[in-house]
Amino acid sequence: MNRPDAPELLAAARETLMNDVFPAVPEHLRYEVLMIASAMGIAAREAAAQSQTEVDLFSEVLPESIAVGSTSSDDARRTIAKAIRAGVFDTPGAQQEKLQVALAETVYNALMISNPKAAQSLRGPRS
């Protein structure tokens, strides 16, 4: 067992970077250090994430072509995108509703990793 795990290591590294290194960083490199800290934060959250996978979500929309366990995430995305472009979900109704739920859920999961602050507003008022 590897301890500390990836999120814990990244958190510790990020803390040292921001608390000890950043104050001594010259002006012209500060943006770079902030980008590094941001990338470490995203990677730490992604390593810790345990959300429902895209395959799970998309298989509920098109169960006949996307199977949990045998379809890859890439293939699931491709299948859904192709069906959208073909107009499969154009008519309002249960099928369109299912798609919208799945899309919103995948975006929410991705935002929880890349931008948790924005994720919290997802279920709030419309933009």
Q: In the 3-class helix/strand/coil scheme, how is 72-96 assigned residue by residue?
A: CHHHHHHHHHHHHHCCCCCCCCHHH
Is residue 85 close enough to count as binding other proteins by CB under 8 A? Answer: yes
Token readout for 60 is: 């509920």
CB of 2 to other proteins, least distance (A): 25
Binning the chain into helix, strand and coil, the percentages to the nearest 5 are 70, 0, 30
Is residue 49 close enough to count as binding other proteins by CB under 8 A? Answer: no
| Contact (Cβ atoms closer than 8 angstroms) between residue 77 and residue 58 | yes
Is residue 101 close enough to count as binding other proteins by CB under 8 A? Answer: yes
Is residue 67 close enough to count as binding other proteins by CB under 8 A? Answer: no
Residues 6-45 that bind other proteins (CB under 8 A): 28, 31-32, 35-36, 38-39, 42
CB of 61 to other proteins, least distance (A): 9
